[in-house]
Amino acid sequence: MSLTATNLPPMTVNLEVAEGVGTIRLDRPPMNALDIATQDRLRELAQEATDRDDVRAVVLYGGEKVFAAGADIKEMQVMDHVAMVKRSRALQEAFTAVARIPKPVVAAITGYALGGGCELALCADYRIAADNAKLGQPEILLGLIPGAGGTQRLSRLVGPSRAKDLIFTGRMVKADEALTLGLVDRVVPAAEVYEQAHAWAARLAQGPAVALRAAKEAVDQGLEADIDTGLAIERTWFAALFATEDRERGMRSFVEEGPGKAKFA
């Protein structure tokens, strides 16, 4: 039997684009559990957001009530060692695809962002959390460790000792503590999370796309290297930008109109 519009399985993640901002929206109620289908869909949409010229910045969003409460434990419970050896690479690749979107990415965090949900938020460049948000890496409570990048991205973001505290204990942190730890960058009323995240993305969507990509890749790749290699990455990108139309436009506007007046989009 062929699938039709009425019997197609519902998409657990969707990409909506408006005014240069692509919203990658998790839609697997009630808790946006990140099952295999959702992971694979995330990877597909991260690639689509990367490829589409009309997407200049991205918002990761789980809806008004919850960002993502982690993996689908029932699905994982039946997997043995061999099955997870096969699956774990695809799991990490899905999240890495989000982290490597070469455009500004902001996570709009409402409610729970636990386990894989927290790891997904870590893939963003900037995190805006609701004042009722709760974040954590509770995998240790299942006899596991984070498997979608948490041990690596969390330690790079908040430092190894703070990351180990969260990972060793599996405890949840409220939004105010997450802000103190550096796990999120801004805390706002729950009703304003998506609006403020979209505004952050929309402002950057008007910026010089190639320079923003260069800045993101220079920072991210530099963090994985020694200082001399990082400086070489920066130097290469810095010189390359002198071949772009945006650089010409930005400098011309600065000379003729003063700083901050250039139009790029």
The dihedral region occupied by 79, where left means phi > 0, alpha psi between -120 and 50, and beta the remainder, is: beta
CA 20/CA 52 separation, integer angstroms: 10
Show Cβ contacts of residue 191 under 8 Å, excluding neighbours closer than 6 positions: none
Active-site residue list: 119, 139
Indicate the pLDDT class of residue 131, thresholds 50, 70 and 90: very high
Indicate the pLDDT class of residue 2, thresholds 50, 70 and 90: very low
Encode pLDDT of 37-80 as tens digits.
999 999 999 999 999 999 999 999 999 999 999 888 888 899 99
Angstrom CA distances, 89 to 48, 77, 94, 114, stand at 20, 18, 9, 20
**146's tokens:** 């984070």
Query: 8-12, 16-20, 119-123, 181-185: which has the minimum mean pLDDT?
Result: 8-12
Longest distance between any two alpha carbons in the chain, whole Å: 65
Contact 92, 151 (CB under 8 A): no
Encode pLDDT of 189-230 as tens digits.
999 999 999 999 999 999 999 999 999 999 999 999 999 999
What b/e string do you get for 95-115 counting C-beta neighbours within 10 Å, with b at 16 or more?
bebbbbbebbbbbbbbbbbbb
CA 262/CA 252 separation, integer angstroms: 8
List of domains in the chain: 13-205 (3.90.226.10), 209-257 (1.10.12.10)
pLDDT of 6? 44
Encode pLDDT of 151-171 as tens digits.
999 999 999 999 999 999 999
